[in-house]
Amino acid sequence: MKYLWQRLSLLKHLHGATWCTMLLAAVPLVLIMVPGEEVWDSGNEISAWQESLQDLRKSTSDLTPRFPDFFFLDVDLYEHGWPIPYMARGVIREGVPPQYGFLTDSYKGIGWIYAETWPFFADKRIFRGWALAVDLAVGLLFLGIVGAVIEWRIRSGDGRWRFRLFDAFLITAVLALFLAPFAYHAHVQRLEAPVLLLSLEENGIERDFAYHGPVWLRKLAGNKFFLRSMFHIDAVTIDPSDNWQEEFAQLEKCPYLNEVTINHWLPLGAIPILERNQNLKHLGLPDLGIADMLRKEQGDPHEPFHAEHIVRLKSLKVTSISVNGLGYQARHIRQIAELPTIQTIWLSNTLVSGDELTSLRRDYPHVTFIIKSNYGPGKPILWTDPRIDVPVKLPTSQ
């Protein structure tokens, strides 16, 4: 303790310029760590923190009054903290959604200028003390480095600030480190340009973009749409044509591509191409019924993927797979669950019964089975969109 007090006593001997610099550096830190960002429901991967957010949304929604006088009731989730979220807030919103641009499609506005983003109020919240301790440690470390560099620079001379060639070099190095991510993402966008030029009508490729820059920069900007140079293709829906080799080869130019959905049919020759994408996390398999129909109509010489080829997906490092169509039976879903990296399986309109699903969940407890939609003889109709609502999971017992 005595040693600690001796170290802290050095603070009163710091130069005034050091204190001013540390104060200026603390402002962006506060803007990064304190205001929250609105959290949307997760995609195909569900982590423990995301499950906690879903539980928070549900528990906050349970607090909403059920009166017909309310025109609109919804729950907004805000996540706070960097580099680790330490708190999430659930806020019940009444009336028309607020028109601040970072939460809408208007692409206007800076998030942290709105009171809703600051942790002043919440209908319900979750808090992680250990994460707050980590964030504070990171912030203090950053301020300590800044203060140490400035103090060393002042004391290396005669106590006065003089701009020297070394200072120019130091400033240039800091600017280079700050601009390096922009240069890198601009380079990636040039690699993605051929994919962007593909015509949807001619090639049957749909592309989705997402921000892939530093989280701290997005929080500091207050609006990810101010950083368009850091948006990249991360999801593709492809309808293979006779020229499928070239279409799938184009996907290799997208380093941030993590989700591929195949419409109608998947040529077996495309699987080795997908294997080369180490970032691929989700694969949407085609509707088997439609695939068989198109193969007969087009007379395509390339063998299409069907349920018996599931074992060929073993080399893919995907963590989630979605299946759609009556061609998928319980034994096929069991083969998917046995793939080494699978964590989540999305089922839509398959021939898997409730009893078979219960058996799958019992045999593969490490895999999450999520029903997106179901229909068939003796089956309930279940509809849920995982990108809008919390996915509906069937009970583990009947």
Q: CA geometry: angle at 104 spanning 99 and 105, to 5°?
A: 125
Per-domain boundaries in the chain:
2-31+131-162, 34-127, 187-383
Give the largest CA-CA distance in the chain: 87
Q: How far is CA 89 from the centre of its chain?
A: 19
> Rounded to whole angstroms, how far apart are CA atoms 88 and 56?
8
pLDDT digits (tens, 9 = 90+) for 71-130: 456 788 999 999 999 999 998 876 544 444 334 433 457 889 888 899 988 889 999 999
**For range 218-236, the mean pLDDT:** 91
Please give the order of strands across the beta sheet that includes 320-324. 205-211, 231-238, 259-262, 282-284, 320-324, 344-348, 368-374, 382-383
The answer to whether residue 11 scores a pLDDT higher than 70 is no
Residue 226 tokens read as 């101010």
At 175 the pLDDT is 92
Where residue 327 falls among pLDDT bands split at 50, 70, 90?
Answer: confident
Residue of 259, 168, 255 lying closest to 207 (CA atoms): 259
Residue pair 326/287 in contact (Cβ under 8 Å)? The answer is no
pLDDT > 70 fraction of the chain, expressed in percent and rounded? 75
Does the pTM surpass 0.85? The reply is: no
> Rounded to whole angstroms, how far apart are CA atoms 280 and 266?
16
pLDDT digits (tens, 9 = 90+) for 239-269: 888 888 888 888 888 899 999 999 888 888 8
pLDDT digits (tens, 9 = 90+) for 268-295: 889 999 998 888 999 999 988 644 544 4
> Rounded to whole angstroms, how far apart are CA atoms 318 and 283?
7
Please give the order of strands across the beta sheet that includes 73-80. 37-38, 73-80, 87-94, 124-127
More confident position, 173 or 73 = 173
At 160 the pLDDT is 59
How crowded is the C-beta side of 355, counted as CA atoms within 13 Å?
1
For tokens 């007090």, the residue is 5
By CB atoms closer than 10 A (0-12, 13-18, 19+), residue 198 is middle
> Rounded to whole angstroms, how far apart are CA atoms 41 and 296?
39
